Amino acid sequence: MTATTLITGGTYLLELSSGYDGEAFYLDESVLNGPDVLDGNGVDFVDITPVVQNMRISRGRHKPLDVFGPGTMSVSISVPKTNRDYDPLNTASPYYNTLTEQPGLAPLRPIRLSRNGEYLFTGVVTTYNQTYSLDGLTSYNIFAADNTYVLSQGSLPSTATSSQTSSARITAVLSAAAFTGSTSLTASPTATLGAYTIPSGTNVNAYLNRIQKAEQGRIFCSRANVLTAQPRIGTTLAAPTVTFDDTNTATPYDVILVEFDQQSVINNANITIESGGVLQNASDATSISQYFTQTEAITDSLLSSDAQAATLASYLLYPNPKPRFTSVSTTFASLTDAQKTALAPIEIGQTVEITKTFTSGTPLSVQQSLSVEGIDHNIDMASGHRMTLWTSATIVLNQFILNDEQFGVMSTTNALG
């Protein structure tokens, strides 16, 4: 494959599967002793980077209490009307499968985008639209989604479960759904789920979202389309993957968003487990007197006990809103090659550090450590690559080190690990 270099961004390769293996041997079609082999060499991918104008990727979520939807990518391409290689109506296209009499480039074909060999998105095509125009150009709009979309299209048979961790329940659900994709599940989940039978016809992704609500971690597909589950969000020992500032000593940014509104306030939480549970409530009277009652309620939690429900209710309380850097944006044109290489493959759940300086007021500098909740890419082949990270609050702990002057002190910021 021949990748395309974007001067301010790097080397990009957008590959779309043709849906068949051009090297495979087919009875009555291939020539004995010819170049084709019995098992082929895998599904063919077509490099469509040279005809791309724009690519947009959106993965994750913007707010910590939002559910994770499918990661998506949209691609805009335009070619002269004389180029019908990508036209699904063209049976003479080099990507047309003459064996099945189907277009090679079509919906539900795998698609993947990489930068300098690192995948930024992997998924399947959901829509492949074509527009003929009298101006001499044919335009294509390709929309794609990751395996979260695939799971949202499936349903489960009636499935009995046992009392198990959230990660074990995810494994059971994926097995019942006959999911064949790759997974990366946390080894130390917080929640234990009850032995509740899953009704026949339950949407797979909707049930995974219920697991996520019980765990209050993250369930999403990585940039390589690996279904990933992370434990309850809280403190972390992970050092920042990328450090941003506005003093030219770290990765520069050009926009920071601070969302400071009532929607983040939760001063009353009600949790009831699915079967036979007693409502568990946690509230903050001082916050209610100031911000009125702001309730988060889960009436069918998959948690296994009232005690766990009570713990979750307390965890969900966020009685006093605090201003924080909700998102940070930067353009690759302003970054060094090393900064681009560190930022481009950043993943949901990793940590960033952002510093904003001021010329007046107090303090003159604000530094925040934050977890990445969502990632947006806008790659325009004319103007360059732009990224936005959406964040949530976190506390970064230091690894406790015996006899170390700084890290050998038991404190709120040093931890045994």
pLDDT tens per residue, range 166-184? 999 999 999 999 999 999 9
Say if residue 207's pLDDT is above 60. yes
pLDDT digits (tens, 9 = 90+) for 214-248: 999 999 999 999 999 999 987 656 789 999 999 99
Cβ proximity of 53 and 76 under 8 Å: yes
Cβ proximity of 159 and 210 under 8 Å: no
pLDDT digits (tens, 9 = 90+) for 350-391: 999 999 999 999 999 999 999 999 999 999 999 999 999 999
Say if residue 115's pLDDT is above 50. yes
pLDDT band at 135 (very low <50, low <70, confident <90, very high): confident
pTM of the model: 0.88
Task: Provide the pLDDT for residue 416.
Answer: 47
Read off the tokens for 82. Answer: 């004389």
Give the total residue count for the chain.
Answer: 417
Task: Provide the pLDDT for residue 297.
Answer: 96
Q: Is 334 helix (H, G, I), strand (E, B) or coil?
A: helix
Say if residue 22's pLDDT is above 60. no
Residues in CB range of 110: below 8 A, 6 or more apart: 16, 17, 43, 45, 122, 123, 124, 125
Cβ proximity of 93 and 110 under 8 Å: no
Residues in CB range of 92: below 8 A, 6 or more apart: 84
Task: Provide the pLDDT for residue 48.
Answer: 93
332 DSSP 8-state letter: G
DSSP for 252-277, written as a single string: E-SEEEE--SGGG-B-EEEEEETTTP
